[in-house]
Structures are given as C-alpha cells and as structure tokens.
C-alpha cells in the first residue's frame, strides 16, 4: 500500500498549497488510481451513526 505524505514542516503559509498542487498535478499526469479497502455497504454500516439513510 502506498501512503503519500510530505513528512515535513512548512516555513511559510503558502508552502503547503504549492506542495499539494504539485503533488496533484503529478498524480493526474500519471493517471494514479485509488485502491479502496472497503465496499459501499461496509462504509454505510460504519458511517451510519453520522447520517440517516
């Protein structure tokens, strides 16, 4: 499983935004996929306490 994180502190307020934008452009260019570890049914069960169906 790949977990992506900057793993660093940012000195300036705009730095996180710039880093996330660069990361997003790279993922989009690579056509990166997301591997889901649950089904919608399992998510509904787990999250049902937060909303009504």
pLDDT, position 38: 86
Q: Which pLDDT tens digit goes with each residue over 2-48?
A: 566 666 777 777 788 888 888 899 999 999 888 888 898 998 888 88
Q: Give the integer Cα–Cα distance in Å for 21 and 29.
A: 12
Q: Answer yes or no: is pLDDT of 53 > 80.
A: no
Q: Give the integer Cα–Cα distance in Å for 7 and 4.
A: 9
Which residues lie below 8 Å from residue 10, measured CB to CB, with a gap of 6+?
Answer: 16, 19
pLDDT, position 41: 92
pLDDT, position 16: 82
- Please list, residue by residue across 14-53, b when 16 or more beta carbons sit within 10 angstroms of its beta carbon and e when fewer do: eeeeeeeeeeeeeeeeeeeeeeeeeeeeeeeeeeeeeeee
């Amino acid at each position: 499983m790949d977990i992506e994180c900057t793993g660093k502190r940012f000195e300036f307020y705009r730095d996180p935004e710039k880093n996330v934008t660069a990361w997003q452009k790279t993922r989009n260019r690579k056509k990166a996929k997301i591997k889901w570890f649950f089904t919608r049914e399992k998510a509904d069960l787990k999250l049902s306490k937060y909303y009504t169906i």
